[in-house]
Structure formats: C-alpha cells, structure tokens
Structure 1
Amino acid sequence: MMPNPYYGVKNSWNDEISIRKEATMNRPTPSTRKINIQFAAVQATYWICFFCLSGFMVVLLRKKAFSSSEIGILLAVQAISSIFAQPIISSFAENHRRIPLKYIVDAQVIVAMIMVFVLNFIGHSMIAATLIFIVLGASIYSSLSLINAIAMQIANSGIAINYGTARGVGSLMFAVTGVILGRLVVIFGVEIIIPAFILCAALSMLIVTMMYAPPVEQEDQHDHAMKGGLFELISFFSRYRTFAGFCLASTFLFANHAFLNTYIPDVVDRLGGNEYDQGLVRSIAAFVELPIMALSALLVTRIKAKYLLILSALFFAIKGLLTFFSGNLTMLFAVQLLQIPAYGLYLPLSVMFADRAVGNRDRVRAQAYVNVAGMGVGMVVGNLIGGVILDHFSVSVLLFSSFISGMIGFAIMLAVLIRYRQPGETKLSGNSSPIVNET
C-alpha cells in the first residue's frame, strides 16, 4: 500500500493551526477600562467624521448648483449603496473570521478619504457625484455596523463593555464638532468640510487600528453554506420574525429622522437662521443624547427594554410634530431635547437588540441589517421623498410627513414588541438587554 505523500503535510498544517489558535487564545487581554476607553475613542472619531461629511453636505452640494431633488437622489443612492454593501461586507467578515473587523473598517475609511478628496474637484456633474456617493455609501456609511459588531464581539467574549457610554461620547463629539465646524463654515466657507473630514478620518483609522480585537471562533463549513443570496435573506427574517418587524419599524423611524436631519438647513432657513444655527441645532440634538445613552444599560435593569423601544418610537413622531409647529429658532432649539427619548434611547437599545435577537453565528449580519433598515432603507425613503417635497411643496409638508412616518414606525414597533417576553443577558456592563431567540 502506497504511503500518503500528504500525510505529514496535513498533520503539520493542523499542528500549525492549533499552535496559532492557542497563541491567540492565550494572548494577554487589556484591562476592561482600557478597552472601554478605546471603544469610546473609536465612537468619538467616527461621529466626528460623520458630522464633517454629512453635517453640511446639503449646503456643499447646493453650492455646486445641485437642486433639492438631485441632492435627495444622491443621498438616496448613497444609502442604497450602503444597503447592498453592508450584508456583503458582513458576510465576508463572518466567512473570514481570521481578519479582525477593525482592519475591514480601516479599509473602508481609506476608500472614503479618497472619495471625499475627489469630491472637492467636481462641479455640477451628476454622474461623477453619483459614483462618489455610491462608494461613500459602501465605505464610511457601511462601517458603523462593523464598529457595533466589534463591541458585541468584545461583550460576547466575556468583557463588560459599556456601549451606551461610548456611544454617548460619540454624540458629545458630534455636538462639539457641530459647533466648531459651523463656525468654521461661516468663516472659511463650506468647502472646509473636505480637509476636516480627511484629517479626522486619518485619526479615526489610527484609533481603530489600535482597538483590541478579541479572539473569535472559526466558522464551520455548514455555516459557510448557509450564507448569501436572496433565499438566505428571506430565510434569515423567517427565522427571526420579531427582529424582522423591528427592522421594518426602524425603516419608518429613520425616514422620519431623514426628513428632520438631512433637510435641517431648509427648516433653519425658514426660521431666518444661517449655517451656524444649522450646526447648533445638530449639536444640541447630539449633546442631549449623551446622558440617556450612558444610562441605557442601567435603564434596562429598571424598565423592560421593549417598553423603552416603544417609547422611543413614539417620541420620533412627537419630535416631527413639534418641529412642524416650531415658529422660531428658540422653539426649534428646544424641540431638540426630544432627541433624548427618541434617537438617544433607540440607538443603544437597537444595538443590544440586534446582538441578542439572533443566533451566535448571525450577530454580525444582524448589526448590518438593523443599520440597513434604518440608516439604509429609511434614509433612502426620507431623502428621496424629502427632496421631491421641497421641490414641489413646502417645508411644512416635509415636517408633517416626518410626523406621519414616525407614527407608522411607532405603530409597527408597538405591534411587534408588546407581546415580546424573552429577556436575556449580555456583557454590556453586566446588564440585561432585549433579546429573542426565535419569532
């Protein structure tokens, strides 16, 4: 009988894999405090970049002579690109678990920096702008789900990570950036957002690279076979029907958010404000989110998470209605306090929900799907319809539409979660998070 010429090679390969796995598992873990500081820094720099890119993008595009409808289309194309990119990228991440998520995020940031640099040199070219926004959607706007997945990987490895506080730090930096960048835009012009984004993105990439990456289990071949395709997407939501309903509600809530956020320059202009006031409105909304995000992990130990999520959905609608009735800048500034029970409460709980609403092997994709439903589909609907409304109707119609969208999102959230009774535990500061295993 002929000896197997590959016998020794195979054993040698398996031995090498075992040694590498053992070395990874035995790698010293940084302190919980250090990891939480790292993740807070990641959130801070991401949201600084996000404001630099999105805070005055409408103003920049208008200066390049794009109409409201064209701007709505560009922002919708960006969100659509994010919709398609996130499941693909998350599936790639799950199928290549040896590649730490932080390196995939780094690659996305680099691509975004290049695109923003190119954007500075195009005029009123719809084709060029469309291509740039497609790539931006697939890069920087798709990276948030992976950043959230990094936190969940750390939490699921047994390290207590305070997501709410970290995200609150992100909101704080978003607020500070709004005030500073709003003043810089008034002084230097809206083009200042281009170099500001590139510098902040470079800093973000450095901090992400330094982030702790926990060891992850390798996926077996059966799991690989289950990934990908429209059939698997349908199968995914069939397996997790409560999660599917939650994503649908998130779509309408973020359409409401798009009406109020993307077109805030038009709302401020109607009330006699300028670019500085636009930045101030966004900064107030972001600043007041900080306490509730930091306390979210504590809140879910006092109040059932499903009620908090339903409450937050209701306040999305109320904020749209009160913005509709705002007759001056002072009232508009005051309405931003409703960001506390609306977006501020929803965001950390949605991340916890996505992590615990599905099986262990589906967690990265769950983060992607929540982001797709909200920041993707919801923003597409809001940006497209909002642009058309502004071109053919008025700001008042836009704001009332935000209220209607918020009420639909609230109704779906109420119907989906009111009978939900399966809480669970995660290592997010050792507190309960809303979970459901099936249905």
Structure 2
Amino acid sequence: MLQLTKGYTDRLKQQLNLLQGIYWVAFCSISGFATVFLLTKGLSSSTIGIIIASASLISVFAQFATGFILDRFVNLTVKKVLLGYAGATTVLNALILLVQSYTVIVALLYCVSLVFLFNVQPLITTLVYQYINSGLNTTFSFSRGIGSLTYALTSFFLGKWLDAHSSLSVPVLSTTTMVVLFILLLTLPKVNSLKKNRQEDEGKRAKETSLGEVFRKYPTMLGLLVGLCCIFIFHTVVNVFLPQMIDNVGGKNTQVGYAIALAAFCEIPIMLSFQRIEARFTVQNTLKISGVFFFIRSLIYYFAGTFLMFLPAQLLQSFSFALITPAYAHYVNEIMAEEDQVKGQTFVMAAVTLGNVVGSLVGGQLVQNLGVSAMLLFGVLLSFVGMLVLFYTVKKEPKQNTPSN
C-alpha cells in the first residue's frame, strides 16, 4: 500500500488529473485533427479514412496483446509500458515534422502514432485504479472529467488557431504534449502491491492468460464487451458522420461545431460527479441507464427533421457517453481481481475501439450507397442490441480476490 500523507495525497491527485488532462489534449490534437492535418499533406478523404480505420483495427489486437504481455511478465509494469508508448508517440510525431514533405512516410508514421496513442488510454485508466486500490482517495471519473474538459477546450481553441495558422501546429502540439506526458509519468511513484501479488501467484497466473479462461472466471465480461462494441458502433457513426447528418436536415458547417461543443461540455459535469451517481444507483445500473439513453439518442437522430431537433440528442451525451465511460472502467475494477485488471481495462478498450472501426467502415458505406437515413437506422438497431445485452448480462459479481500462498 502507498504511504500517504495529506500533502502527498493532494499532490498525487493533481498529478493524475494533469495526466488525464494532458493525454486528452494530445488525443484531440493527434486523433481529433487527423483529417485536418492529413488533408493538407495531399491525402484524400478516403485514404485518411483507411489510415484511421487501420490504426484502430491494429490497436484492437495491440490492446489485447498488451493485457496478456503485462500479465505474463511480472517485472513489466503498467507505468513502464506507458512510458514506452508515450515515448514512441512523441518520437513519431517529431519525425512527422521532419519528413512532412514525404506524403507516404507521413501517412505511415501517423498511422503508427495513432496505434500507440489509442493504447495509452486503457493503461492510464489501469494506472489510476492501481493508485486507488493502493489507498489513494480519489476517483477515476473526476480525472476523466478533467480530460473531457481539456479535450473540449483544445478542440475549440485549436480549431480557431488553425483557421489562421499552418496545420503543422497539429504535430507540434502533439509532440509537446506527449513530452509533458512522458515527464509527468516519470514523476509518479511506484505501486508495489500489485507486483507483489502477481509474483506470489505466478504459477496460477500463467494458466489464466487465455481469453476463454478470463470469460469463465468473469461470466459477465463477454456480455459487457459485446454490449460496449454495439453501443460504440452507434456512437462512432454519429461522431464521424455528424456533418452529413446535419447537412441532411438543412444545417450548415457552423452548426456542426455548435453540436460538437454542446455534447462535449454536457458530459463534463456528469463525469466530475460520477462518484455520487454511482453511489446512488450502483455501477451496474449506471451502465444500463447509459444504454437506455444511447438508444433514446439514436431514435432522436433518426426522426429529427431539423437541426433544432438534433440538440436534445446532443444534450443527452451527458446521460449516455458521460455515464458509460467511467462506468465500464469502474465495473472492471469492481469485479476483477487485481492481477487481472490490466487485461480487463485493455479488453474493454479493445471492444470500444472495435466499435469505432465497424462504425467508421460500415457507416461510411451506408452513407455513400444508401444515404443518411439508412445509416441512422443501422445506429438505432445497434444501440438497441447494445442496450439489451447490457441489461441481461451486466450484474453484480463478487470481486475476485488474489489468492495467496
């Protein structure tokens, strides 16, 4: 357990909040403005879509692999892997600045950079919960809310900055923030309790690294992954093709920005107060409630005939995405034994990422060949399936304890 004084606790909380905040600045820059930057390098929209989808698909397998590798090698900690991934992302974005004239090389570097970026996210979640489980009195949802705030602010100000400045600002900001993230990770203290438990149970742990064993040990885990994947297919369809959706009801580009900003700022209060919400409703019910609101949003989008009719769906971001994001992370921490939590957090992030891949690829094909209405109907069906799966599979499980010799 960490030996915590009040001053030390306050400083560590601030470090973890800053860690989330800096990561989501980098995420907004690298992922959120990927299309903006790559278009200026002469790449077509379809090629950019392939780059982003490829990075997402590769990261699904990389996230599963990361969980198993961390489980297998006792001396390899979450912090060490995070430092490696953050360092790689930093170097790749710096290289993009150096080879900016070579379009093919830039495309390849950007794709690999996205893979590392996506893999940092579940590891930060795991690291925060390791500190919580070691005695730090803080919450993941609050730090994640800080991340949502910095993402929204970065999106707003970077968008305005790029209206008047070079798109090279994107890799410059990406490199700078990842350097700060790397330095911040170096300052964080070690978490020793997890390593000790893993060493004590090394023989048993080696037998439990298969995916089938994980699902047998945690019966609700498979349902959680399927439900999350379905819901995030819908979520990705809306996020990626929101401009086409708004154009379909006679909206303009400026209204796309308003819609994105409205949704982003609505989620912040819920994430910051998630601990009180979860204490009142339980994390299992919170997951189910979020599924209901995802389905309600899908219906609003499908039947909306004007831009104003879109706004209630954007407001419901607070009771859908803002609830489910901290809820699935907390649920994994609640049901899984300490030595399995790295796998758990990487698995749920892999399911979310797979939803992103399917949503982008299938949504794009539906918009292009059948139109926006067909794509939104697809979203309604997937959100309904995801809601049902969460309702019938997510339940309270006794937390697995790490066996001792």
The two structures, once aligned, show a CA RMSD in angstroms of 2.8
Which letter does structure 1 place at the counterpart of 2:280? R
How far, CA to CA, are the matches of 1:143 and 1:385 in structure 2? 26
Superposition map of 1:189-268 within 5 A: 190-216=167-193, 217-218=195-196, 219-220=198-199, 221-223=202-204, 225-226=206-207, 228=209, 232-268=210-246
Task: Name the structure 2 match of 1:73.
Answer: 50
Is 1:372 equivalent to 2:353 in the alignment? Answer: no
Superposition map of 1:130-209 within 5 A: 131-132=108-109, 134-188=111-165, 190-209=167-186
Task: Summarize the Cα distance change of 1:161–1:278 in structure 2 as closer, same or farther, 3 Å threshold.
Answer: same
Please state which structure has a larger fraction of its residues in helix.
Answer: 2
Structure 1 stretches lacking a partner, 5+ long? 1-23, 425-434
Is 1:404 equivalent to 2:388 in the alignment? Answer: no
Check conservation: 1:112, 1:136, Cα contact below 8 A: yes
Task: Name the structure 2 match of 1:350.
Answer: 328
Residue in structure 1 matching 2:17, options 30, 40, 44: 40
How far, CA to CA, are the matches of 1:320 and 1:190 in structure 2? 34
Q: Offset of 1:288 from its aligned partner?
A: 1.3
Q: Offset of 1:400 from its aligned partner?
A: 2.9
1:319 is paired with a residue of what secondary structure?
Answer: helix
Structure 2 stretches lacking a partner, 5+ long? none
Residue in structure 1 matching 2:294, options 304, 316, 340: 316
How far, CA to CA, are the matches of 2:151 and 2:276 in structure 1? 23
Q: Offset of 1:157 from its aligned partner?
A: 1.1
Residue in structure 2 matching 1:114, options 69, 91, 104: 91
Superposition map of 1:13-92 within 5 A: 31-64=8-41, 66=43, 68-92=45-69
Task: Summarize the Cα distance change of 1:258–1:150 in structure 2 as closer, same or farther, 3 Å threshold.
Answer: same
Task: Name the structure 2 match of 1:273.
Answer: 252
How far, CA to CA, are the matches of 1:207 and 1:144 in structure 2? 15
How far, CA to CA, are the matches of 1:390 and 1:63 in structure 2? 24
How far, CA to CA, are the matches of 1:237 and 1:353 in structure 2? 15
Q: Offset of 1:72 from its aligned partner?
A: 3.5
Task: Summarize the Cα distance change of 1:35–1:299 in structure 2 as closer, same or farther, 3 Å threshold.
Answer: same
Q: Offset of 1:93 from its aligned partner?
A: 2.8
Q: Offset of 1:92 from its aligned partner?
A: 2.9
Deviations 1:94-141 (A, max 9, x none): 34444542332122122223333455626664x873x43552343110
Is 1:394 equivalent to 2:371 in the alignment? Answer: yes
Q: Offset of 1:204 from its aligned partner?
A: 2.2
Task: Summarize the Cα distance change of 1:161–1:299 in structure 2 as closer, same or farther, 3 Å threshold.
Answer: same
How far, CA to CA, are the matches of 2:355 and 2:346 in structure 1? 14
Check conservation: 1:87, 1:365, Cα contact below 8 A: yes
Which letter does structure 1 place at the counterpart of 2:260? R
How far, CA to CA, are the matches of 2:109 and 2:364 in structure 1? 19
Deviations 1:176-209 (A, max 9, x none): 1111112122222555322222222222222232
How far, CA to CA, are the matches of 2:102 and 2:308 in structure 1? 36
- Number of residue pairs the alignment of both structures matches: 394
User: Which sits farther off after the overlay, 346-355 or 282-291?
Assistant: 282-291
Task: Summarize the Cα distance change of 1:265–1:105 in structure 2 as closer, same or farther, 3 Å threshold.
Answer: farther
Larger-Rg structure = 1
Is 1:307 equivalent to 2:288 in the alignment? Answer: no
Q: Offset of 1:55 from its aligned partner?
A: 1.8
1:241 is paired with a residue of what secondary structure?
Answer: coil
2:189 is paired with a residue of what secondary structure?
Answer: coil
Deviations 1:325-375 (A, max 9, x none): 44455544453211111010011111111112222221111010010111x
Check conservation: 1:36, 1:162, Cα contact below 8 A: no
How far, CA to CA, are the matches of 1:328 and 1:182 in structure 2? 25
How far, CA to CA, are the matches of 1:344 and 1:187 in structure 2? 32
Which letter does structure 2 place at the counterpart of 1:366? G
1:300 is paired with a residue of what secondary structure?
Answer: helix
1:301 is paired with a residue of what secondary structure?
Answer: helix
How far, CA to CA, are the matches of 1:169 and 1:358 in structure 2? 26
Check conservation: 2:4, 2:136, Cα contact below 8 A: no
Task: Summarize the Cα distance change of 1:208–1:385 in structure 2 as closer, same or farther, 3 Å threshold.
Answer: same
How far, CA to CA, are the matches of 2:347 and 2:285 in structure 1? 22
How far, CA to CA, are the matches of 2:45 and 2:282 in structure 1? 42
Check conservation: 1:81, 1:134, Cα contact below 8 A: no
Check conservation: 2:30, 2:114, Cα contact below 8 A: no
Residue in structure 1 matching 2:272, options 255, 278, 294: 294
2:220 is paired with a residue of what secondary structure?
Answer: helix
